[in-house]
C-alpha cells in the first residue's frame, strides 16, 4: 500500500475511533434507531439529487445500504445506548477484520498468508481479554450486539469488493437511500411514533451536531475513502487498519467521558495493536530482511 493510501486509511480510522464518543453524546438526545435513521437519511439527501448514480447494480447498493445501516450501525447505536461502553465497543467491533478476511477467503478466494493468521491471532487474544473481564461496562447483550454489527460491517466490505472500482463517494450516497426504510421501520416498531416525535422536538444542539458529524465525517468521507481503498487493495491489507479504531476510541472515551482504563483494557489494546503491526509491516520487513 502506498504511503499516501496508508495516511488516508489512518485519517479514516482516527475519525471512526473518536466517533464512538460522538455517538454517546448523540444518544443523550436521540433514541438509537432514530439516530441511525437520521444519519443515513441525511447522508443520502439532498446529495443524491446532485450526484450521478455510480456504475454499480441496484442489488449491490441495496445490499451495502442494508448491511451498513440496519445491520452495522443500527446494532452499534443500540448497543452503546446502555449495553456497552463506547471505548470497549470501538474494540469489540474490530472482529469485523476476522469476518471480512474469512468471508474473502471463502467467497472470493483471496489468499491469506501465515503472517495474517499470526496477526489476527494476537488481535483475537486481545478480544479474549475483553470477554474474560465482563463487568458493568460490557454485558453479554452488548457483546452480542457488537459482534452482530461486526459481521454486518464485514458483509458490507465484501459487497464493496464485488463492485470493483466505481466512484465510492457516489456509491456511498446512493447506498444510504436503502438504509433508511429498514431503520425507520425498526425505529417505529421499537421506539414508537410518540418517542420519535418527542425526540425530534427536544433534541439539543449537541444531538444535532452529532448527527451532522455522522453524515459528513463518518459516512461521506469515512466510508467513501474506506470503500475507495477496499476497491484497490486486498481486503486482508485494508481491513486490519481498522484495528487502530479502538486505540483512538478508548483514548477519546477516557479523556472525554472518564471511562476507566484498567490494566486489562490496556493489555487488550496492546494485543490488538500488536496484531495490526504484524499484518501491516511484515510484508515490508521480510523482503528487507
Whether 288 is covered by a domain: the verdict is no
Phi and psi dihedrals of 164, rounded to 5? 75, -155
Q: 82 and 136 in contact (C-beta within 8 Å)? A: no
Distance from C-alpha of 174 to C-alpha of 126, rounded to nearest angstrom: 36
Distance in angstroms (rounded) separating the CA atoms of residues 66 and 137 = 28
Residue at 56 is within a domain: yes
Cell of 205: 444542539
**pLDDT tens per residue, the chain (289 residues)?**
678 888 888 888 888 888 889 999 999 999 999 999 999 999 898 889 988 998 889 999 999 999 999 999 999 999 999 888 888 888 888 778 778 777 777 666 666 677 777 887 887 888 788 777 766 667 888 889 999 999 998 899 888 888 877 887 888 889 999 999 999 999 999 999 999 999 999 999 999 999 999 888 887 788 778 878 877 787 667 767 777 787 888 888 888 888 777 888 788 878 877 877 777 666 666 555 5
What is the reported pLDDT for 206?
A: 92
Task: Specify if 94 maps to a domain.
Answer: yes
| Chain Cα centroid distance, residue 184 | 20
pTM above 0.95, yes or no: no
Check: CB of residue 241 under 8 Å from CB of residue 47: no
Q: Is residue 121 part of a domain?
A: no
Please check whether residue 31 lies inside any domain of the structure: yes
Number of domains forming the structure of the chain: 1
What pLDDT, on a 0 to 100 scale, did the predictor assign at position 2?
Answer: 77
**Residues in contact with 251: Cβ distance below 8 Å, sequence separation at least 6, in sequence order:** 17
Taking the CA atoms of the chain, what radius of gyration do you get in angstroms?
A: 18
Q: How far apart are CA 213 and CA 217, in angstroms?
A: 5
Its domain, for residue 217, covers: 3-112+137-261
Between CA 10 and CA 36 the distance in angstroms is: 24
Helices (H) and strands (E) in the chain, counts: 15, 0
- The answer to the question of residue 117 being in a domain is no
What is the distance, to the nearest Å, from the Cα of residue 6 to the centroid of all Cα atoms in its chain? 18
256: exposed, middle or buried (Cβ count in 10 Å: 0-12, 13-18, 19+): middle
Place of cell 466490505: 157
Count Cβ atoms below 10 Å from residue 105 Cβ, excluding itself.
15
Determine which helix (DSSP H) or strand (DSSP E) holds 190, and give its type and residue range. helix 168-190
With respect to residue 266, please indicate whether it lies within any of the assigned structural domains.
Answer: no
Please say whether the beta carbons of 16 and 76 come within 8 A.
no
Q: Where are the alpha helices (DSSP H) in 108-244?
A: 114-131, 140-163, 168-190, 192-202, 205-213, 224-230, 235-238
DSSP letter, residue 165: S
pLDDT of residue 110: 60
Residue with cell 429498514: 182
Nearest-angstrom CA–CA distance, 161 and 156? 9
Cα distance between the two ends of the chain: 19
If one counts every other C-beta atom within 10 angstroms of the C-beta of residue 182, the result is 19
Quick check: is 282 in a domain?
no
The pLDDT of residue 189: 95
Amino acid at each position: 500500500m502506498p504511503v499516501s493510501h496508508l495516511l488516508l486509511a489512518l485519517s479514516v480510522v482516527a475519525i471512526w475511533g473518536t466517533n464512538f464518543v460522538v455517538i454517546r453524546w448523540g444518544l443523550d438526545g436521540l433514541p438509537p434507531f432514530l439516530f441511525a435513521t437520521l444519519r443515513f437519511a441525511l447522508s443520502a439527501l439532498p446529495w443524491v439529487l446532485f450526484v450521478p448514480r455510480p456504475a454499480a447494480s441496484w442489488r449491490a447498493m441495496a445490499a451495502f445500504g442494508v448491511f451498513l445501516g440496519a445491520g452495522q450501525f443500527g446494532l452499534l447505536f443500540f448497543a452503546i445506548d446502555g449495553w456497552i461502553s463506547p471505548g470497549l465497543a470501538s474494540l469489540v467491533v474490530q472482529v469485523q477484520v476476522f469476518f471480512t478476511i474469512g468471508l474473502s477467503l471463502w467467497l472470493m478466494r483471496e489468499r491469506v498468508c501465515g503472517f495474517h493468521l499470526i496477526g489476527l491471532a494476537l488481535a483475537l487474544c486481545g478480544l479474549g481479554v475483553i470477554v474474560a473481564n465482563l463487568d458493568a461496562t460490557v454485558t453479554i447483550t452488548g457483546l452480542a450486539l457488537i459482534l452482530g454489527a461486526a459481521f454486518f460491517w464485514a458483509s458490507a466490505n465484501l459487497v464493496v469488493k464485488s463492485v470493483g472500482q466505481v466512484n465510492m463517494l457516489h456509491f456511498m450516497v446512493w447506498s444510504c437511500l436503502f438504509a433508511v426504510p429498514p431503520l425507520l421501520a425498526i425505529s417505529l416498531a421499537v421506539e414508537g411514533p410518540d418517542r420519535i416525535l418527542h425526540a425530534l422536538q427536544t433534541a439539543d444542539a449537541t444531538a444535532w451536531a452529532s448527527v451532522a458529524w455522522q453524515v459528513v465525517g463518518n459516512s461521506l468521507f469515512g466510508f467513501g475513502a474506506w470503500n475507495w481503498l477496499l476497491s484497490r487493495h486486498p481486503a486482508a491489507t485494508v481491513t486490519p487498519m481498522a484495528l487502530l479504531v479502538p486505540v483512538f476510541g478508548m483514548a477519546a472515551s477516557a479523556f472525554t467521558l472518564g471511562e476507566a482504563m484498567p490494566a486489562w483494557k490496556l493489555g487488550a489494546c496492546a494485543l490488538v495493536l500488536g496484531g495490526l503491526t504484524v499484518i501491516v509491516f511484515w510484508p515490508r520487513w521480510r523482503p528487507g530482511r
